[in-house]
Structure 1
């Protein structure tokens, strides 16, 4: 049987081009932007890019990136960083370094493996003018959103150069080439291993012909006049012979592209339900090989799988592993952020052959061989006999992994991992949605670091020197930590938890969502869906832990009444929810909505931490909004209380508005649960005038004391914007009885989802068998040995609680149930 190498170079053969080669020889023009090269550039612009802009052919794509980056920062941004993804080839960083920039390595998106949008924006906001250029990579030829990079360039004042080395042949739904009309350089490779195979070469496309001509001069020693160098330059010219090969490839490229696309679709169809691939996009994706992710539980066997494939005549590789952030030279010169998703994707990537000479039968053979080696059961068999796990955690964000962190701190993670499955929609566990918020935490840096310091799991304890941990540690003396910097640490912890759990026999299913669970035969039958393939699978579990987080439902804006009317009736199109304001870009959204208002007025409704944090954000962000006196009004029902570590500390500042029922009997804290902390606390202390603090004149407090408060009604009606900060409701998993009828939960009626043992309650307040809840909006209230003041009304949320007492409460019950079953 024929061997299928991973890469099969198949450029046009010079032996078939002898007449045209003789023409070059007869002309005596071999380089220096000769007629063959110019003709190819014009033809490529017409055929590949719909006649938009212009193209420049260069000796290779790395040189193309070098001159494009050098040109991009010559007269513009003065920063030192080039922002680029971890999952790319070494040449991306090499080109930036040769252009005088320091690579700033960013994590990738779990779905399409390109640079993560939220991480890009976080780093652009953090480093500001220090970032001179963004160098996005079109991963494995997948078309990325260039309009978004046009917007980022304008918003942050940074240059953009796109590394599209593998993308020549990628098209949109109209069959126009990727990059067509881009206002910045898009650099393609024409190396022998690429779909547009020559022998060596690169192509730069840009909508601006003047930019292309300037790059042409830079590729010719910077000459803009005969023998006169006026620009930084080098020799990056493509010779005439290579331009001739490129023209020959262009002539047959439509046929080649169609064939390779047929093979790629055959791969996608063949692996559905068993392996993860990049999402399908409209148009065509140029692929030099077919990349997929191995099942997470087989990650550590990848090298063995590749070796066995080779024995069976199937070439395989692991592009890009090590990824850019793991390359030794890059690590010595670059600034590398936490990259848990790139670490995970890079560790699971497997590349299979895809070449001009293969057939769809070859594709079937490659996948069948891989299946046999990996021993993945056919999907039909999986559905016919649902797998059984002892415990299933739905949600691998901060709350779900906090419970696992609690177990690891006590050395119980290996025991808990046996029979455990974690289900997480994102591509990695740990971070959740924290990174999308533009605010500081209501927990100290030490709270986050306590999860790793002294942890019984050596892999987690070793994170103390991780860049993400060091970034958080820099805020030890601050009022909280920017959530954008907390996210990478939690993702790094999640990555270590992932490895530990799978090593101990547990399963982590990322890219998977739970659709619902039915109580049947004394167990929970859970339907899971692969978010990439939309294929479903059934599992049976004894215990469910719901850690799906919270949200701000829109229907609450209709039902919530203030001053005798619903918020929607009063505020209509002036109404926002605090979650959208606190998200990154939320302040800019508010500023846009208030543009042109000389003295804008905002009403914030709520007395929660999110309400105070919203106010703090609106007051401190820059450029400042032009608030006059009383520009923001906070409407709240309950008194605003500051937290104190002791009665003595409160009295020392002259704060006496508390009684015995407001003091935690365990810790001695004043308003341990009801009191605001860190940044929100400082704002409350100012507004209450505690210890001589001066209130911020831009903020007014109004306590709503009845349902017909006409003053409150007037404030809302006169506000330019109304922000509802009414707290969060749980995203409770849909639960059904044996007949498929919905099980009504306490949370559906607005009551806490869980009881004082973290057990999920039904509508009558009784705990459901084997179902636990943890996290934002679960409604847990500490009591007994967990402490808390007797006067507290509401719910308590906090990472420290989840990683300690609350998390261990669930862990202890799960392990006790196992011991009881064994007995």
Structure 2
């Protein structure tokens, strides 16, 4: 029976190059950029890159990546920044970034060509700004990715670029050039024995920029530039002369080898019709093996399929599974974005052999054996169950509020028990962060608040997040006025990942990429929630004893149509000059605002509302660089309620010269002044200046006007004179549709503009009666602290805050669920 190993290393034979070996011995030069290395570098540049630019031979590709990444980061003045790379790549890509002093930022891939997702890359460049030092895209499995696009990104975002082209030496791009030719940045190739350009151990760096190559050449030689005195950061990454002899020999045959492998790939593609294969870029790839995706139902059968092929003499591989974002080192040391496409593809990948000894007929034989193995395992798949078993609890929404229940349970060591029978449903591809990290503002929670969720947590995997790059980034703001949300978002994401791991490990289910369409009370007293899987639109019902709505809040457009300001319709007064604060606060929102005001020599903005979002909007606008050319009173804040600053004590308020409060404004539990109604951190600082507290000087660009009623002509004049009107009117809950057993919609208090929940976080119907087993938490839910939770008696409104959700409020819901479980347990009075 013929054997087909996955990879059969085929470097040139040293015994066939005795004359070259004698030449090296005669020269007495065995390393240090001798004649053999120099000849190879010239010849490979001419043969594979049209004679353009320059090349350096290096000891291995990982060292090449380390040097190139380090240089790119330092050249941009970001030596400790982020290295953005795709999840589906080899560990060396991430390792090189870590050794270069950077933090990998791992993103998702394109579902067709399996390279870094272009839209995600650009979103992260906008989100993280100059924190990203370098892009490290991987030319996946030898594909000729679009280097012109990366040249544009390099200029547009002033970011370094290094291409991991490990498998691409011999690849030809769509223009007929060697992949990497004329690139203005470094491309790093492997010459490892397992690659198509098989040597032994070695690598190559090529760039169209010969000056860049000259600098990198000094870096791989201890940082020596012309003398034996280090002027650059460097290391020893030189290729030995003997290896250069092998590289020269392989260069002479690489064209024929790649053509033969391309014919094998073509035979595979013809024989694997019906299976999902990688979309090809370029005219020819230096194929190392043939990657193919198993159908989704066969994911759990991958090992069995590989075993069947092995018995037939066919070797297989799983490049790259697990991907970067799933490997323990990078989970601890990298920032990892949601990676649903990489998760799916890594789970389904199986690599089939391509070797120099094979022919297209061999590929057809292997493909037939692969199809047979898949068919045999498909026949062994049991029929799917007709209905999902009832869960204990369903949480709809896995953002900061939904995961707050998990955090609260974890802080008491209860998460393992709470996870049993738990189902978390989340629209996005990961839990924890929600949209928080996509806002351009600073939080109204301190760094200590964010870190308190994990610091000294009973679960060691959560406690370890304080040492994670996301935890360290937030800790840098411990003494600052809040944390930039783009920094807080990754911390919440990392925390969500660990929470999800714990839930799954103890019998719970995390359904990311799913939407909840509504929930219905059954005649048996359960909740039946209709779910839809976003990937394929499949809908199904999930039964549960309890339901938690944590779907967040929004600023509905229809509210603008009915909103009255100073007795007249806001929409009628502002028209197309009207924006909502959410639009401005989101990443890119200020740029949109600035574009609308372009050419205005003295622009005027009216901000309506007395909420934190109103003050955050003003703070965001004022600290942008370059600033808008506001004159005196260029921004007017129109508000109804007095602006109140928070103080940690009566004494602190008096010491600051602030005495505009009385006994009902003091929290009886904490002693805080305006604990709930008061502005905090950056918004508080702005309010203190607006009020002139303790001699603080107001910013002359800001004016305030307190709306007095329906006949307030001054308020209407401010709106009429504004170039832009920003409505910061707070948020309304995304209340999930709730129905009776017969399908009739239950009107909720939230639909009437009242709080969605009562003092126990139970969802209220339109008559303010709690619906059994249905809870709500999060932005705009309407919860007001009471009793031991504290709060001033004068407060009217709702309290939203991460610390509240992750502690008392989240625990309140967890406790009620545990009480119900205990009551339903066998032997309890209710169960009997």
Alignment match, 2:394: 392
**Which digits, 9 at most, give the CA deviation of each residue in 1:745-801, with x for residues without a partner?**
332333222222212223333323322111112121223343323332222111111
Displacement after TM superposition at 1:204 (Å): 8.3
**Cα pair 2:56 2:217 within 8 Å, conserved:** no
Alignment match, 1:817: 820
Please tell me whether residue 803 in structure 1 is matched to residue 806 in structure 2: yes
Please tell me whether residue 353 in structure 1 is matched to residue 356 in structure 2: no
**Which digits, 9 at most, give the CA deviation of each residue in 1:621-647, with x for residues without a partner?**
333333221121111122211122333
Q: Structure 1 length normalisation: TM-score? A: 0.77
| Aligned ranges 1:347-746 → 2 under 5 Å | 349-350=346-347, 351-356=349-354, 357=363, 361-364=368-371, 381-382=384-385, 384-522=386-524, 523-563=526-566, 565-746=568-749
**Which digits, 9 at most, give the CA deviation of each residue in 1:294-339, with x for residues without a partner?**
99xx99x9999999997897744463658499798x99xxx94444
CA distance in 2, matches of 1:602, 1:802: 34
CA distance in 2, matches of 1:754, 1:141: 55
CA distance in 1, matches of 2:790, 2:530: 38
> Could you say what secondary structure the match of 2:519 adopts?
strand
**Cα pair 1:423 1:514 within 8 Å, conserved:** yes
**Which digits, 9 at most, give the CA deviation of each residue in 1:426-463, with x for residues without a partner?**
33322222222222211122222322334333433344
* Cα 1:257/1:728, change in 2 over 3 Å: farther
Please tell me whether residue 792 in structure 1 is matched to residue 800 in structure 2: no
**Cα pair 1:110 1:426 within 8 Å, conserved:** no
| Aligned ranges 1:260-339 → 2 under 5 Å | 266-268=274-276, 288=289, 290=291, 315-317=316-318, 319=320, 321=322, 323=324, 336-339=333-336
CA distance in 2, matches of 1:801, 1:97: 36
* Cα 1:473/1:234, change in 2 over 3 Å: closer
**Cα pair 2:608 2:638 within 8 Å, conserved:** yes
**Cα pair 1:82 1:135 within 8 Å, conserved:** no
Displacement after TM superposition at 1:804 (Å): 1.3
> Could you say what secondary structure the match of 1:587 adopts?
helix
**Cα pair 1:344 1:495 within 8 Å, conserved:** no
Of the candidates 241, 247, 256, which is equivalent to residue 248 of structure 1? 256
Which is further off, 252-261 or 701-710?
Answer: 252-261
Which is further off, 783-792 or 559-568?
Answer: 559-568
Which is further off, 565-574 or 146-155?
Answer: 146-155
Displacement after TM superposition at 1:491 (Å): 2.5
Please tell me whether residue 750 in structure 1 is matched to residue 753 in structure 2: yes
> Could you say what secondary structure the match of 2:619 adopts?
helix
Alignment match, 1:104: 103
CA distance in 2, matches of 1:336, 1:559: 50
**Which digits, 9 at most, give the CA deviation of each residue in 1:181-224, with x for residues without a partner?**
97655556687867x77778989898xxx53x6678889999xx
Displacement after TM superposition at 1:341 (Å): 5.3
CA distance in 1, matches of 2:599, 2:501: 53
Please tell me whether residue 157 in structure 1 is matched to residue 165 in structure 2: no
Alignment match, 1:50: none
**Cα pair 2:275 2:292 within 8 Å, conserved:** no
**Cα pair 1:689 1:695 within 8 Å, conserved:** yes
**Cα pair 2:584 2:590 within 8 Å, conserved:** yes
> Could you say what secondary structure the match of 1:398 adopts?
coil
Displacement after TM superposition at 1:671 (Å): 2.0
Displacement after TM superposition at 1:466 (Å): 3.6
Structure 1 unaligned blocks of 5 or more: 15-27, 46-52, 223-227, 270-277
CA distance in 1, matches of 2:260, 2:187: 23
> Could you say what secondary structure the match of 1:387 adopts?
coil
Which is further off, 313-322 or 626-635?
Answer: 313-322
* Cα 1:316/1:220, change in 2 over 3 Å: closer
**Cα pair 1:34 1:240 within 8 Å, conserved:** no
Q: Which has the larger radius of gyration?
A: 2
Displacement after TM superposition at 1:402 (Å): 1.0
* Cα 1:748/1:624, change in 2 over 3 Å: same
> Could you say what secondary structure the match of 1:638 adopts?
coil
CA distance in 2, matches of 1:243, 1:801: 65
> Could you say what secondary structure the match of 2:544 adopts?
strand
* Cα 1:352/1:710, change in 2 over 3 Å: same
Displacement after TM superposition at 1:731 (Å): 2.4
CA distance in 2, matches of 1:777, 1:744: 17
Which is further off, 769-778 or 604-613?
Answer: 769-778
**Cα pair 1:436 1:484 within 8 Å, conserved:** yes
Alignment match, 1:274: none
RMSD: 5.0
CA distance in 2, matches of 1:65, 1:661: 63
* Cα 1:34/1:609, change in 2 over 3 Å: closer
Displacement after TM superposition at 1:250 (Å): 5.2
**Which digits, 9 at most, give the CA deviation of each residue in 1:238-285, with x for residues without a partner?**
95653454323554676555555568874549xxxxxxxx9x899999
CA distance in 2, matches of 1:458, 1:56: 47
Which is further off, 246-255 or 477-486?
Answer: 246-255
Alignment match, 1:17: none
CA distance in 2, matches of 1:772, 1:180: 60
Please tell me whether residue 77 in structure 1 is matched to residue 76 in structure 2: yes
* Cα 1:794/1:216, change in 2 over 3 Å: closer
CA distance in 2, matches of 1:352, 1:771: 45
Which is further off, 681-690 or 699-708?
Answer: 699-708
* Cα 1:92/1:504, change in 2 over 3 Å: closer
> Could you say what secondary structure the match of 1:748 adopts?
helix
CA distance in 2, matches of 1:812, 1:614: 37
* Cα 1:160/1:470, change in 2 over 3 Å: closer
**Which digits, 9 at most, give the CA deviation of each residue in 1:43-70, with x for residues without a partner?**
xx9xxxxxxx999898986687578668
Number of paired residues? 762
Displacement after TM superposition at 1:144 (Å): 7.7
| Aligned ranges 1:125-274 → 2 under 5 Å | 125-126=130-131, 131=133, 133-137=134-138, 149=150, 152-165=153-166, 184=185, 211=209, 241-249=249-257, 251=259, 256-259=264-267, 266-268=274-276
